[in-house]
Amino acid sequence: MFERPDKMALHRLIVTCECRFVTTRVTVTGTGTPYLSATNAGPGVLVSYENSGDVVHLQFDAGRATLMRLTALGVAPHDLSAMFLTHYHNDHLVGLADIVLSHWVMDRDDDFAPIEVVAPTGSTTRFVDRMLGIWDDDLAVRAHHNGRAPEPKMRLLGFDVPDEPTEVWSNTSVRVLAGQVRHEPVIGAVGYRVETPDGVIAISGDTTVCEEMAELSRGADVVVHEAMRMNHIMDRPRGQRYIAEYHADCIAIGQQMAALDTPTLMLTHLIPPPIAEEDFVEFEDQVREGGFTGELMVCRDLDHVELA
């Protein structure tokens, strides 16, 4: 089931939201790219699952303004069960320190559990290891003033990039698998597959259309996939076409998702960013041209799908 709040509904959501997830919900927290936008937060996806009042919140990537989008959903940093990173490109990571530092600042009674950050080993885990270094003075003076330890509580769980989808996190009801995707020259980029009692969600991160992403998506109820309108990129001067080498063409996405018989497809990380309504329509038209006939959402921030 799709739901896209109008502007007034979004305002009410931000001001008064007390979200109750009665099933598995997939929310795109940010649809943006490295290009600045007044309306699109940086890349991110939240998967939430509730079982007898026990809520699991899993955040995948944390681009700019991710914490603001989570706050609009009523999800505080200490509500996150785990965070998952797809790769080390800055547009997917600049919001991570915001989440970790805000978790520490809000931890008045030292009763919040560490934030678990799950990431492929190599450049991505090195980033996480180093990211708070520039805040040493801030953390030290705050810790001296409030009497708490100056190290924000964070537990980094690194994993080697697997050749095939492999479990990297689980609890009693939810399992997350990671698999390699093709985003070269980035080394160690991954996508994720989330399995809950309600169904399966595949999240691409940044990738071309590739067999590795097909493996993550096979049998999924919902696929969240980055998307690029190739014709607009190829119309650019030669020196600006390089992004076509490592992002996913809409027509090819449609072909792959049609072959996999994917029921629901959510497009995000939209390249080039849509401005007018006809841009959103063109994303959809190109995916349909590839042969995809399932449910399709060209996402705006906070668009979501529920699995019953």
Tens digits of residue pLDDT in 41-100: 999 999 999 987 789 999 999 999 999 999 999 999 999 999 999 999 999 999 999 999
Distances (CA, A) of 159 to 44, 108, 125, 281, 282: 20, 32, 9, 39, 38
pLDDT at 29 > cutoff 70: yes
CB-CB contact of 68 with 302 (8 Å) = no
Q: What is the pLDDT of residues 130-165, one digit of tens each?
A: 999 999 998 899 888 887 888 889 999 999 999 999
CA distance 117 to 155: 6
CB-CB contact of 33 with 270 (8 Å) = yes
Of the candidates 284, 296, 218, 292, which has an alpha carbon nearest to the alpha carbon of residue 255?
292
| pLDDT value at residue 107 | 86
Backbone angles phi, psi at 50, to 5 degrees: -120, 135
Confidence of residue 18 (pLDDT cuts 50, 70, 90): very low
Q: How many domains does the chain have?
A: 1
pLDDT at 219 > cutoff 50: yes
Distances (CA, A) of 83 to 79, 134, 248, 250, 267: 11, 21, 24, 28, 21
Mean of all residue pLDDT scores within the chain: 90
Q: Which of the given ranges, 26-30, 36-40, 231-235, has the highest pLDDT on average?
A: 26-30
Q: What is the pLDDT of residues 255-301, one digit of tens each?
A: 999 999 999 999 999 988 999 999 999 999 999 999 999 999 999 99
- Paired residues of 54 in beta bridges: 51
| pLDDT value at residue 12 | 33
pLDDT at 233 > cutoff 90: no
| pLDDT value at residue 252 | 95
| pLDDT value at residue 4 | 52
Which residue segment(s) compose the domain that 186 sits in?
Answer: 2-307
How many residues are listed for the chain in this entry? Answer: 308
| pLDDT value at residue 16 | 36
pLDDT at 234 > cutoff 90: no
In the chain, the amino acid numbered 62 is A
CB-CB contact of 33 with 271 (8 Å) = yes
| pLDDT value at residue 57 | 97
Q: What is the CATH number of the domain that holds 58?
A: 3.60.15.10
More confident residue, 112 or 176: 176
pTM: predicted TM-score of the whole model, two decimal places: 0.90
